[in-house]
Amino acid sequence: MTGQLAEAEARIARRIRLERDARGWSLADLADRSGLAKATISKIERMEMSPTAVTLLKLATAFDLTLAGLLLRAEEAGDRVSRAADQPLWRDPETGYLRRQIFSRSDFPLELVRVEMPAGQSVMLPAASFARIRQLLMVQSGCLVLTEAEAERHELAAGDCLAFGPPGDVTFANESAEPCTYFVFLQRS
């Protein structure tokens, strides 16, 4: 793990503990609200375990935050200029996808995220992660298959854009043999 990714993971672990403590929640309280095991949360807070994208989404939702909101708080960003060298990176230990938070501020309604999805990987994000936000996805390179609510399948190639429908479980899949890069534009409601 690179130094920047290790630092990001440490900041995320500290932020999760801080969010839990600020609410006066025990590990059991957060486990009940997130649907995660107490042991999992404890290991994440002690940096003994890297959280997956789905795990972070469950924690963010329990705190009534978006994933980007949780990561923003972990980074304590706020400058109007988002320098490439300072943009938070996070790698999902389960799929290997790399998420770059290009722009996000608590006082600005738009966020921009860049994701690199390795070949043959997929991640399913629950409907709760899309509550109170609107999203637009644009594929920069490669191919991405996005399935909404296990029913509507969208095969996207470089340059294609998709506006997300009503909140539902969404699977992002790179079914090809090449990596895929895509941008997600988010607007908080």
Fold of 84-188: Jelly Rolls (2.60.120)
| pLDDT confidence of residue 95 | 94
Q: Where are the domains of the chain?
A: 3-75, 84-188
Architecture of the domain defined by 3-75: Orthogonal Bundle (1.10)
| pLDDT confidence of residue 159 | 98
> Helices in 23-175 by DSSP H: which ranges?
27-34, 38-45, 53-62, 67-75
**pLDDT of the chain along its 189 residues, tens only?**
567 778 888 889 999 998 898 889 999 999 999 999 999 999 999 999 999 989 998 999 999 888 877 887 787 645 678 889 888 899 999 999 999 999 877 667 788 999 999 999 999 988 877 777 889 999 999 999 999 987 899 999 999 999 998 888 999 999 999 999 999 999 876
Collect all residues with Cβ–Cβ distance below 8 Å to 183 and sequence separation of at least 6.
102, 112, 113, 114, 115, 137, 138, 140
pTM beyond 0.95:
no
Domains 3-75 and 84-188 share a fold: no
Residue 89 forms beta bridges with which residues? 100
